Amino acid sequence: MTDEPLIAKKLAFIETCVHELRTIARLELIDHDVREERFVEHTLQLAIQAALDVASHIVSDQRLGEPTTNQDLFQLLARNRWIEPEQIATLRAMTGFRNVLVHGYADVDRAIVRDVVEHHLGDLLQFVVGIRARLHSGPAT
């Protein structure tokens, strides 16, 4: 059974991260201020990780399938009508971006960081809205 209080807490955390990125982050400084760069990158990482945690919890508890990667979680959620299919590509891309932030596969491109903060935080909020709506509506038919 899906732990709705846990999911609610993680969804609220995503909203908090998005709010902080929109109100506290100073993107114009990330090229020159290591504290600002780390704040923005880490807050993005935390928000994306929370979305992955929610997806993993739901996929596991609802027995929606066996993902082979974190990115597959969103495909399984969409297939089972937890999120809209149009969200899959963006959420998968965010997962890849999170992997770069966490594992340092390459130097993080600050232009991509800026783009995510300026244009894609709404995608995280759309994920929150979709999951909440499904939790409150019950099983898909």
Residue 132: band (very low, low, confident or very high) from pLDDT cuts 50, 70, 90: very high
Cα 21 to Cα 116: distance, rounded to the nearest angstrom: 10
Which of these, 87, 73, 62, lies nearest to 140 by C-alpha position? 62
Helix pair angle (110-119, 88-103), 10° resolution: 140
Residue 53 or 101, more confident? 53
Residue 141: band (very low, low, confident or very high) from pLDDT cuts 50, 70, 90: very low
pLDDT at residue 88, rounded to an integer: 93
Residue 58: CB atoms within 10 A of its CB come to 22
Cα 125 to Cα 87: distance, rounded to the nearest angstrom: 11
Residue 88: CB atoms within 10 A of its CB come to 19
DSSP secondary structure string for all residues of 69-82: STTHHHHHHHHTTS
pLDDT at residue 70, rounded to an integer: 87
Which of these, 74, 57, 75, lies nearest to 7 by C-alpha position? 57
pLDDT at residue 50, rounded to an integer: 97
List of residues 6+ apart from 82 with CB closer than 8 A: 58, 64, 130, 131, 134, 140
In CATH terms, 4-136 corresponds, of 1.20.120.580, 1.10.600.10, 3.40.50.720, 3.40.50.20, to 1.20.120.580
- The tens digit of pLDDT for each residue in 47-90 reads 999 999 999 999 999 999 999 988 899 999 999 999 999 999 99
Which of these, 82, 56, 75, 73, lies nearest to 139 by C-alpha position? 82
Highest mean predicted confidence (pLDDT) among 20-24, 93-97, 137-141: 20-24
User: What's the mean pLDDT when you consider all of the chain?
Assistant: 91
